[in-house]
Amino acid sequence: MDLSLNDASPADLDVPSRQDLAGLVVELGVEQPLQLDCGARLGPFKMAYRTYGQLNADRSNAILVCHALTGDQHPADPPHTDRAGWWERMVGSGQVLDTDRYFVICANVLGGCMGSEGPKEINPETGVPWGLDFPVITIADMVRAQTLLLDHLGIEKLFCVIGGSMGAMQALQFAVSYPERTFASVPIAGAARHSAQNIGFHEVGRQAIMADPDWCDGAYLSYGTKPRRGLAVARMAAHITYLSEEALHRKFGRRLQDRKSVTYGFDADFQVESYLRHQGSAFVDRFDANSYLYITRAMDYFDLAAEHGGLLARAFKDTPVRYCVISFTSDWLFPTPESRQIVHGLNAAAADVSFCEIETDKGHDAFLLDEPEFFAVLNGFLEGCASLKGLKV
Amino acid sequence: MTTADPARPGPGAGTGARTGTRPGAAEAPEFSGQRIHVRPDFALIGQMVEPGSRVLDVGCETGDLLDYLIAERGVVGRGIELSQAGVNESVRRGLSVVQGDADTDLQDYPSKAFDYVILSQTLQATYHPRDVLSNLARIGRRAIVSFPNFGHWRVRLKLLWDGTMPVSEALPGAWYETPNIHLCTIRDFTQLCRELDVTIERALALDDRGSDKGIADPARANLRAQHALFLLRADETPI
């Protein structure tokens, strides 16, 4: 059953209307619930997604874009806002993910808070928001849900699955779990497993949320409140990890915020403080704190080698998927050695892989920004794939 | 005595700081409005490669040879390149290339993963040529290796008469700036192949432009070839 006002059957996916721009919501796992890694079964569940461009006649031009931790299903042209989409430079007519050529799909991840089933949605059994009753989900669960969406859209095989950061984890997991369902996979600024340092950062964020009395043991929605301060602190800490020392210095240095000298107090004297406070409070308005707990947990649990006897190469054994691994020099959250580890695993499986490190001082966030070399490399890879596959548009 | 041509890029120029400069490029005639560059050694390597086979080019620079082999021999091509600029340029061309080092990264690859592993003008720039060569023979059912021949008579004369390290088209760059840290002669190389139980299937003596000089006798080749090109195999499996 489709919940959206204007959901489209696969045959008329190419009819964009103003209502489509708000995205679509589909109910999946109706006949058979989704088996989750934690043992629970979920279904029916909602999946909010968005498509761009047109699916071609032989349904071979679909690209699945996987969003990062706090992203959504609107990489370009988001509704109800003047803000640009998080991948506005990448997705669109004439862009690298050219919507005149490719059918681009992006779904809000399972556990998210932008319309897909997650802790802020209503638990049909209780009639109140799931909160902590929502089952803990994994990256593999997110990917399972995405394949159900592809089934719904009538897409057997993707041209490419692509994503940065947590999106890279999904792009990897998708290609490993369903090698027959995609021609190519592009994990950007990612890793084959979440590092101890990154689990540590996530734990700081979660503790900040859970330490906020307004979190109410996860039931804040029932009390009509939100752990605003906790979630804002989590975001502030995380935001620092998305940048680089150099980028922070260039942007703010030690400059003071609207004052000539320090105030000998705990106001936001420095511009960087003011900036982070703004980032924190703006984030609270658009993101659900429990979702933040669930999604960071999914990333922490991600370890591709673990499910293959600890050997990453085994995950890629006999893979027909064409990989392009991309990292950024100043990314210290998912540094190049993490990507190199993926490449080593792929090499050990004699898989078809390209690996590029892009020179930039913008840190982890570089994958969201205007990096011409990054776009050029990715474009070359996709062109190569299109010609290898004989893609007709 | 041949000296370095100032117009030629020195070692490490452009891409591949530790990749030696390949023999000079010759321009092929224009076809259908598209100018393609084919160096004679590309054609010779191409002749050694069975059409449709799986090829790994180690030290592929910006992917010229891979491009050539894919276009002319229909191979499934992969590359490893040390310089990130070379890798990015290769990937921009649609080739499958990873950033990596022949000295450290070949050990990742499984045995006999490729029909041919090519190491063109790179062996002399590696830290551990012996390990690199045995890895090539392990990963590929065949290996194709080319290198500048330090046994060439001009090299020998330069050392004998001037008592200085030779600088030539095949060996550009002064001793203090050359990436070529493990130079060898054709005889040195064939001895190493024997030690590693690697069979030499074909051996070609090349000039500075990468053309075959047609010298069959190894001793004469060692004296007269500026470059050498070998087709090697470590097992008896037919391609």
| pLDDT tens-digit series, residues A100-124 | 999 999 999 999 999 999 999 999 9
Question: What angle, 0 to 180 degrees and rounded to 10, lies between the N-to-C axes of helices A139-153 and A166-177?
Answer: 70
Which token pair is A39? Answer: 């043992």
pLDDT attached to residue B32? 35
**How many Cβ atoms sit within 10 Å of the Cβ of residue B214?**
8
pLDDT digits (tens, 9 = 90+) for A289-303: 999 999 999 999 999
Is residue A276 over pLDDT 70? yes
Is residue B28 over pLDDT 50? no
- Is the backbone peptide bond immediately before A372 cis, with ω within 30 degrees of 0? no
pLDDT digits (tens, 9 = 90+) for B190-209: 999 999 999 999 999 999 88
In 3D, which of A274, A268, A73, A37 has the Cα closest to residue A167? A73
Q: How confident is the model at residue B40 (pLDDT cuts 50, 70, 90)?
A: confident
The answer to whether the CB atoms of A347 and B94 lie below 8 A apart is no
- A4 domain-assigned: no
A89 and A15 in a common domain: yes
Cβ atoms A374, A366 nearer than 8 A = yes
A180 and A259 in a common domain: no
What is the maximum span of chain B, computed from C-alpha positions, in angstroms? 51
Q: What is the CATH number of the domain that holds A247?
A: 1.10.1740.110
Q: What is the CATH number of the domain that holds A123?
A: 3.40.50.1820
- A1 domain-assigned: no
Q: Could you tell me if B93 lies within 8 Å of chain A, comparing CB atoms?
A: yes
Task: Quote the domain boundaries for residue A344.
Answer: 10-194+303-389
Out of A276, A298, A320, a domain closes at A298
Question: Would you report the helix, strand and coil content of chain A in percent, each value rounded to 5?
Answer: 40, 15, 40
**Catalytic annotation on A364?**
yes
pLDDT digits (tens, 9 = 90+) for A338-374: 999 999 999 999 999 999 999 999 999 999 999 999 9
Q: How confident is the model at residue B38 (pLDDT cuts 50, 70, 90)?
A: low
A246 and A177 in a common domain: no
Nearest CB partner across the interface for B96, out of A349, A354, A377: A354
Out of A268, A283, A298, a domain closes at A298
A20 and A132 in a common domain: yes
A311 and A263 in a common domain: no
Residues of B in contact with A358 (CB under 8 A): 88
A263 and A143 in a common domain: no
A188 and A147 in a common domain: yes
pLDDT attached to residue B170? 86
**How many Cβ atoms sit within 10 Å of the Cβ of residue A301?**
19
Catalytic residue among A141, A212, A300, A331: A331
pLDDT attached to residue A393? 60
In 3D, which of A78, A100, A107 has the Cα closest to residue A14? A100
Size of interface A-B (CB pairs under 8 A): 68
Mean pLDDT of A318-341: 97
**What are the φ/ψ torsions at residue A222 (nearest 5 degrees)?**
-70, -25
Residues of B in contact with A383 (CB under 8 A): 94
Mean pLDDT of A113-136: 96
**CA–CA separation, A15 and A223 (whole Å):** 42
pLDDT attached to residue B1? 36
Residues placed in the known binding site of A for substrate: 235, 365
Q: What is the mean pLDDT of chain A?
A: 93
Higher-confidence residue: B235 or B11? B235
Which token pair is A360? Answer: 């930039």
pLDDT digits (tens, 9 = 90+) for B161-171: 999 999 988 88
Mean pLDDT of A29-36: 96
A272 and A167 in a common domain: no
A240 and A116 in a common domain: no
Cβ atoms B176, B143 nearer than 8 A = no
The CA dihedral of B134, B138, B142, B144, to the nearest 10 degrees, is -40
In 3D, which of B90, B23, B155, B71 has the Cα closest to residue A356? B90
Chain A, 344-383: which have a CB under 8 Å from a chain B CB? 344, 347-350, 352-359, 373, 376-377, 379-381, 383
Task: Calculate what percentage of chain A has a pLDDT beyond 70.
Answer: 94
Top-level CATH class of B40-233? Answer: alpha beta
Mean pLDDT of A229-233: 98
Cβ atoms B197, B232 nearer than 8 A = no
Q: Chain B: residue nearest A344 by CA?
A: B108
